[in-house]
Amino acid sequence: MGRAGPAAAPRPPSMDDVRCPVCADILLEPVTMPCGHSACLHCFERSSCCPRCRLRVSSWARKRSREKGLVNAELWDVVRRSYPEKCQRRLEQRDGQAAGEGGRLYSDS
């Protein structure tokens, strides 16, 4: 039996699949909650509930941060490989705003 050729590369996720429901930008250091929804780490840290379905996740978050950390490393790797320029731009914005505004990441506009 011969090989049919190299396996097709996995299709990158769409922007809608990697968009944070809180800040509406690309997921940065995504946290995937027990309900399956994801948000940026910074956005996630602002609430004790899932921003989509409102599931309380505070106990899960405390336990997870002690055991493994909150960031979904697999998803973060996929996002960085699929959208490197958007991730770099967003990281630079975050770092610049945090330095220039005393840690404030989002504007009021």
In tens, the pLDDT along 66-88 reads 998 999 999 999 999 999 999 99
Flag whether pLDDT at 109 surpasses 50. no
| Rounded Cα gap, residues 16 and 13, in angstroms | 8
| Phi and psi, residue 62, nearest 5° | -60, -45
Architecture of domain 18-100: 2-Layer Sandwich (3.30)
Flag whether pLDDT at 65 surpasses 60. yes
| Rounded Cα gap, residues 31 and 15, in angstroms | 17
Flag whether pLDDT at 9 surpasses 80. no
pLDDT at 62: 93
Record the pTM. 0.76
- Domain limits of the chain? 18-100
Which residues, in sequence order, are CB contacts of 71 under 8 Å at separation 6+? 29, 30, 31, 41
3-state class (DSSP) for residue 38: strand
